[in-house]
A and B are shown apart, each in its own frame.
Chain A
Amino acid sequence: MTDLLFLIVVSLAKTLGLLFLVILPMVSYTVYAERRVSAMIQDRVGPNRVGIYGLLQPIADAAKLLLKEDFTPAHVNKFYYWLAPACAMAPAIMALAVIPFGSTFLGQPMVVANVDIGVLWVFAVSSLGVYGIVLAGWSSNSKFPFLGGIRSSSQMISYELSLGLSVIPIFLICRTLNLTGIVNYQIEHGWLISPIWIKGISIHGVDFQALAGSFDIWKILLWIPLFISFVVFMVSMFAETNRLPFDLPESETELVGGYHTEYSSMKFALFFLGEYAAMIVGSAVIVTLFFGAWHVPFLPTTISEPFSFWGIVLGLIHITAFFVKVALLLFIFIWVRWTLPRFRYDQLMHLGWYFFIEIALVNVFIVAIILAFMPKS
């Protein structure tokens, strides 16, 4: 009984800590980063008035959105109109439950739910996000949100396929769906994104015998299909999170505001935050699958004394490393958004159905063949 109680308390602490200390601030500061980075890419300055360097801008925005009139147009379907913003925000946050965002901290593994179907859970839950958009588009009962909703649903269904197929090679290689297992594989064999992996260097010195074994022809051979899956996964993730160049559900130049045209105040903000939360979750999944999650090269990966000073520091370093990697990926998301123009709708479908699915499918077979000939280690 006390064990169960302990588990509940710890899980709750991890969930709330992750949500309120990391994800929600990260969401609001991603919005800030988006505005600053886009400004700088366009030779502007961006919000720099509220607080030093405009760092309090997200708080001011939140206050503004909360105080705005929450207007419900007369022609909408009230129930679904109110349900949709919640549907947009919740799935993105739910997907975070299985992501290992740190090694161990105070003796507890830093993952809310260490389940064996990890990645499947992420895909299952994150694709529920489309309901928020479809419901918003339909219940708004006006043409532009409706078009946005239609586009979004077809886009998400199309790219779900290549998203799922592109990561199958990883499971073939790691022989597990559990995200913690994938991270452990990457700690042992090197990040899946890197072609060579230097072994034998740690804070204790250099082990030359292990260093000589760091050049592995099989690792390089496997890297080729893995890099292809990384590209396919990354691009599909852009489509899945409705980011430019695939932001057809919103496409403010064509559809006014897309699915959230009829929304205002905090309901609009929920869509906005849901979108950015989905972006963070997407980056977190990419980091977990390809960039070794919380792993920092040349640093110890296991914490032997969790309550000692160095144990706590190392745990914090691992957590920080994870979110630094996520932040770097988010920067790439933003950078791409302010570089590329929007795809046309038929181009988007063409790309998804004619290229990415085929590439991802062939990729699975390539990896399977390589693995069949690879010596078992």
Chain B
Amino acid sequence: MAITINRPKLTLAEKAYFPAILTGLRITIGHFFKIVSGKKKVTMQYPEEKWDKDLPAHYRGAPTLVKDEQGRERCVACQLCEFICPPRAITIHPGEIPEGERWRKVEKFPKEFEIDMIRCIYCGLCEEVCPEQAIFLRKDYAITGLNRQEMVHDKAKLYELGGVMTGLVNKWNEKK
């Protein structure tokens, strides 16, 4: 059923526009003076002022590879992150751990690990899918480069950004 909405009866003051206009002008000039006098500050002057130390723990910055507390790399080159990555930013070239090595049971290690930061959408799926907790989204957000090649993070760069992360990892567990 159609609903009939009656048009509101406007008073003379409302029809004349001016009271409403003056109210509006008072509001805008109030904002103007608050900003001019410095009473209110909304904008952060980016390169000089940064929010880095206030970034929350769950902040999704650049994806990085992490090492454990003994400096061993966690990644087992299972390629799950490569397959789940929606923009296909990750490229892994797995290598085989040779016979007789201490951690032969792990079988694979990443020979090359590249994340194309032009493609990356910072979604965090790689971190979520990683069974070894080897890839983490850290707090670096200003990823820049002068050409496309610079924007591809290789393994060294990823470990440099990632640093050390402690915690449970299946890789070093003999029983798993």
Contacts and interface: CB of A to CB of B under 8 A. Distances in A.
Interface string B18-50: 000100110111011011100010110100000
Contact of B24 (A37, A45, A340): A340
A44 B21 contact: no
17 contacts: A40-B31, A40-B35, A41-B28, A41-B29, A41-B31, A42-B31, A43-B34, A43-B42, A43-B43, A45-B43, A45-B45, A335-B25, A335-B28, A335-B29, A336-B21, A336-B25, A338-B28
Nearest to A48: B45
B38 to A, nearest CB: 11
A40 to B, nearest CB: 4
Interface string A41-74: 1111100000000000000000000000000000
Given A335-B25, A339-B21, A340-B24, A37 B43 contact: no
A37 B32 contact: yes
Contacts of B42: 43-44
A339 B42 CA distance: 20
Contact of A41 (B32, B40, B45): B32
Contacts of B29: 41, 335
Contacts of A45: 35, 43, 45
Given A335-B29, A339-B21, A339-B24, A43 B36 contact: no
A220 to B, nearest CB: 21
Contacts of A40: 31-32, 35-36
Interface residues of B, number: 15
With a 10 A CB-CB cut-off, give which of B27, B36, B43, B45 has the most chain A CB atoms.
Answer: B43
Contacts of B25: 335-336, 339
Contacts of B45: 45
Size category of the binding interface on chain A = 10 to 19
B34 to A, nearest CB: 8
A283 B82 CA distance: 64
A339 B25 CA distance: 6
Contacts of A338: 28
B40 A43 contact: yes
B31 A43 contact: yes
A335 B32 CA distance: 9
A37 B29 CA distance: 10
A242 to B, nearest CB: 19
Interface in B3-31: 21, 24-25, 27-29, 31
Contacts of A42: 31
Nearest to B22: A339
A259 to B, nearest CB: 27
Interface in A74-127: none
Nearest to A245: B21
Given A40-B35, A43-B35, A339 B40 contact: no
A-B pairs, 5 with minimum CB distance: A40-B35, A339-B28, A339-B24, A45-B43, A41-B28
Interface string A169-204: 000000000000000000000000000000000000
Contacts of B40: 43
A41 B34 CA distance: 9
B48 to A, nearest CB: 11
A44 B43 contact: yes
A340 B21 contact: yes
Contacts of A41: 28-29, 31-32
Interface in A21-42: 37, 40-42
A374 B174 CA distance: 110
Given A45-B45, A339-B21, 20 more contacts: A37-B32, A40-B36, A41-B31, A41-B32, A42-B31, A43-B31, A43-B35, A43-B42, A43-B43, A44-B42, A44-B43, A45-B35, A45-B43, A335-B25, A336-B21, A336-B25, A339-B24, A339-B25, A339-B27, A340-B24
A338 B35 CA distance: 15
